[in-house]
Amino acid sequence: MKEITANTDLDIEKEFKIEAGPGAGKTRFLIHHINNVIKKSHRLYSARKVACITFTNTAVDTIRQRLGHGAIEKTEVSTIHSFLYNNIVKPYGRCLLEEYGLRIEKVDGHEDAVVNRKILNQWLEMDVLSGLRHPNSQKQLKTRSGLTAVLKKWLLLEKCIVRKGNIEWIFNDNVVAYTSEGRFVLDRSSFKVLKSGFMEYKKLYWEKGIVDHEDVLFFSGILIQKCPFILTILRAKYPYIFVDEFQDTNPIQTYILAEIKKEESIVGVIGDAAQAIYGFQGADIQLFRKYKVKKENEYSLNENHRSDEYIVDFLNILRENFEQIPCEEYEDSSIKFFVGDRTKAFLKARDICGLEELVSLSRDNVTSNAMKNLLENEAYDSKIMKKFEEIEKSNPKRMNYVIAYINAIELARNSKFKEAIKKIEWLYRDQAESKKIALNMLLLMLKSYSDYSNMSLMNFYLLLKGLEKNVQLSNFKTGSIKSFYENTLYINLAVCVNIVEDISNHITIHKAKGAEYENVFVVGNSNFLDFLMNPDIAKNEEHRVFYVALSRAKKRLFLFLDELSLSDENYIGEKYAIKIERIG
């Protein structure tokens, strides 16, 4: 594997595979290579373009900004799902009406998968599921909340793959749901019946024009097989296709790219197996490792232009067989390890950073949102949303309304207005101007945020009820539900909201992927401790998640654990030459 730099000129008419560690300049290389292609290629005539595919909207925006006006006119920069939707599904989806019931004229983009209760009940009444028997009968799956929860979870975990050339759906049959009534699972015979009727479930969405991200992959794979001329059109339109973060691809994405590159199109990929952290979404780390190009077209970017040499040396200890070369040196750079009180540790780190930015990175949404809302000193409950859903199961209309508004408000406060409106627009689906009503209500609730943000859920609900003119909301009787609303703070539920591509300074590690920060505070857990004690980046995805977190830091890196034994403290301190400070 040849070592190159971000400014190396590669032959524009040859494919490539580049392994690049964190901070290696992957984006800089892409920009440089795209500009080189646009300048030198004789194949970009007429409407032909370079396709640059990455995996987050943040990365898309970054590449577009750096390309500049001239280059962007000849470059299509998008996420993989958007690329497939815009170039395959939307223009040719009409071919799927007869077999799959897809009403492409109703489709307006693609979203995260959701389980619509009305559609779920409609499916559970179909004859195709008549084979379901006690204790998982059609009626029981509809009426028993625990069984319904398992079924919803199972439906949300379905993935689309390619197996021996066939586009298929796979499922996780080990799902479990916990409610106040106990632990719930479905028996194996039920899964067999549900799988046989799964396509009928999907068609109920597709006939309404509802398409999720996994559907985009499924339809793209089906369409290029059903209508091979689509590949010819794609090759003509995009003679060059470059894929960033290739380690995050899943089998069907790789299959489609492999089909495209069989003729005419030059495909180049960049990735880092050590930063493959999307296995839960179907990404397969082996796809990057096994991706084949000619030996002379394999390269590596070994420089690190992000982190101080002290941090790079620390990362090199954690990662075998790939040593980065530090290219940056910052004054007052340091790595500090705190154990104990999270709030005090973070405040101390902030004092050390002074006026410089400090970003906390957490493994899950609840922890990152708790950091955001400074709830570390309070006994916040990571399962409070599940408790709320369980206690409100007798009134699903009110429950869904409250959850929708909490999500919308917190998304809007993070500048995600489009997503926020979608969260509540469906509440007014029977109204003529549903979007306008949703927007007006959202603005009123944002204006009054200080009136309920630190108050009880009851204060929040009563304010909503007083403003709402389009939805009839119920009152409370004395009992556990009323008590929950009165004794639960709004902010305790708000920390459970998942902000996609969060722009705050307290985010999850996955949302920080591709970003870099002056100073980073990593909130560790038991997996983080295991990573430090026995690093295994090659085989353990949780270890790779924390490797990504550590490698976001440019100048200062703060590590935190709630607790640490003295023996582990001595081992870590000696292995990494780090002094550990306990904060009570």
Provide the pLDDT for residue 381. 61
Same domain? 132 vs 185: yes
Q: Is the pLDDT of residue 305 over 80?
A: yes
Provide the pLDDT for residue 63. 92
Place of tokens 């070369």: 325
Is residue 416 within 8 Å of residue 498, measured between CB atoms? no
Domain boundary among 280, 301, 322: 301
Beta-strand relationship, 166-170 and 159-163:
antiparallel
Same domain? 462 vs 418: yes
Flag the least confident range among 67-71, 156-160, 466-470: 67-71
Q: Is the pLDDT of residue 23 over 70?
A: yes
What average pLDDT does range 199-227 have in this prediction?
96
Provide the pLDDT for residue 378. 46
Q: Tally the domains of the chain.
A: 4
Same domain? 360 vs 456: no
- Rounded to whole angstroms, how far apart are CA atoms 215 and 206? 9
Same domain? 193 vs 109: yes
Flag the least confident range among 175-179, 325-329, 542-546: 175-179
What average pLDDT does range 385-405 have in this prediction?
86
pTM value is 0.78
> Which of 178 and 398 is assigned the larger pLDDT?
398
Same domain? 183 vs 146: yes
- Rounded to whole angstroms, how far apart are CA atoms 33 and 427? 48
Q: Is the pLDDT of residue 503 over 80?
A: no
Within a domain: 408: yes
Is residue 581 within 8 Å of residue 336, measured between CB atoms? yes
pLDDT tens column, 122-167? 999 999 999 999 999 999 999 998 899 899 999 999 999 999 899 9
Same domain? 198 vs 286: no
Is residue 549 within 8 Å of residue 274, measured between CB atoms? no
Q: Is the pLDDT of residue 376 over 50?
A: no
Same domain? 487 vs 525: no
The percent of residues above 70 in pLDDT, for the chain, comes to 97
What average pLDDT does range 451-475 have in this prediction?
91
pLDDT tens column, 522-575? 999 999 999 999 999 999 999 999 999 999 999 999 999 999 999 999 999 999
pLDDT tens column, 264-297? 999 999 999 999 998 887 788 888 999 999 999 9
Provide the pLDDT for residue 380. 54
Within a domain: 222: no
47 backbone dihedrals φ, ψ, rounded to 5° = -90, 5
Same domain? 489 vs 511: no
DSSP 73-115: TTEEEEEHHHHHIIIIIHHHGGGGHHHH---GGG----B----
- Rounded to whole angstroms, how far apart are CA atoms 156 and 150? 10
Q: Is the pLDDT of residue 6 over 50?
A: yes
CATH code, domain with 27: 3.40.50.300
207 backbone dihedrals φ, ψ, rounded to 5° = -70, -15
Domain boundary among 442, 464, 495: 495
Within a domain: 81: yes
Is residue 206 within 8 Å of residue 101, measured between CB atoms? yes
Closest to 351 (Cα-Cα) out of 521, 551, 569: 521
- Rounded to whole angstroms, how far apart are CA atoms 309 and 318? 14
Within a domain: 352: yes
Provide the pLDDT for residue 493. 84
Same domain? 25 vs 85: yes
Provide the pLDDT for residue 375. 45
What average pLDDT does range 62-75 have in this prediction?
90
- Rounded to whole angstroms, how far apart are CA atoms 81 and 352? 41
C-alpha torsion 95→98→99→104, nearest 10: 50
Same domain? 351 vs 437: no
Is residue 318 within 8 Å of residue 533, measured between CB atoms? no
Q: Is the pLDDT of residue 443 over 60?
A: yes
Return mean pLDDT, the chain. 91
Same domain? 356 vs 424: no
Within a domain: 111: yes
Same domain? 412 vs 490: yes
Domain boundary among 446, 470, 495: 495
Provide the pLDDT for residue 182. 75
Q: Is the pLDDT of residue 85 over 70?
A: yes
What average pLDDT does range 32-60 have in this prediction?
93
Within a domain: 48: yes
- What range defines the domain where residue 486 resides? 383-495
